[in-house]
Structure 1
């Protein structure tokens, strides 16, 4: 038997290693993709909970929720600069109500959450608001999370 003194791998060794890597990736890949999508949904749910808390803080500060037109931007910046209560809150450093500012009202891809608050028809009664996350638009799966309070 002839002893080789070569420093390189044979073609057969390379093919076997590539096949082993391929088998491992085919087993692990789908699980990683599933965990990734679940983490995106979990992060969005967590952000929605933070937005709910910020909306409650906003309501405690100003006595009302932002309108649908004002949207979640009301949690980030002073949308009523002529109102004394809002100027006072701004001076006291209460803005932004959401911890991460602009990033706190958008999902992972930078799309803003959809906020809907019906107009005040019955003052003093319970008011409902809804926050939605529509996920990746244009894909086959469009997850929708809604949370009403």
Structure 2
């Protein structure tokens, strides 16, 4: 009697592995752009919320001092007492001056260049160049 050699069928074939890899590649190709788009939208949302929060802190500064920090004093006035300001009740922000979600400093101007605003507090946005992608206080 001849002995038949049994083949071990417990593994995967090369074709099965290639099909799984192709399906994973398609899923990643379809899902990754949507995830990256959501990440970009989340940073814009965080920038808007941070600008509103810093605007509220600037309002508290104005209540204590009587005016917003000058452009020269900038947001540093929220961390360290500016010279010549006696009614400063800070620090209003712990640590260092806040930066936007892209790790760039906010642009602060007092008085505002825009009509109907006391000050300008802006992030250059995702591109870092400002323009249409610039995010400013409402």
Superposition TM-score tier, normalisation by shorter sequence: 0.7 to 0.9
Distance (Å, rounded) in 2 between the aligned partners of 1:58 and 1:143: 28
Please point out which of 29, 32, 36 is paired with 1:29: 32
Contact 2:65 2:85 in 1 (8 A): no
For 2:102, the equivalent position in structure 1 comes to: 109
Check 1:48–1:143 CA distance in 2 against 1; reply closer, same or farther (3 A cut): same
For 1:131, the equivalent position in structure 2 comes to: 121
Distance (Å, rounded) in 2 between the aligned partners of 1:114 and 1:22: 42
Paired residues for 1:1-149 under 5 Å: 4-5=7-8, 8-80=11-83, 83-86=85-88, 89=89, 94-95=90-91, 97-98=92-93, 101-102=95-96, 105-118=98-111, 128-137=118-127, 143-147=133-137
**Which stretches of structure 1, 4 residues or longer, exceed 3 Å deviation after superposition?**
136-139
TM-score by length of 1: 0.74
TM-score by length of 2: 0.79
Distance (Å, rounded) in 2 between the aligned partners of 1:57 and 1:48: 14
The CA deviation at 1:109 is 2.7
Higher Rg: 2
Q: How many residue pairs are counted as aligned between the two chains?
A: 130
Give the root-mean-square deviation of aligned CA atoms: 2.7
Check 1:3–1:36 CA distance in 2 against 1; reply closer, same or farther (3 A cut): farther
The CA deviation at 1:29 is 1.2
Extract unaligned runs of 5+ from structure 2. Answer: none
The CA deviation at 1:138 is 6.0
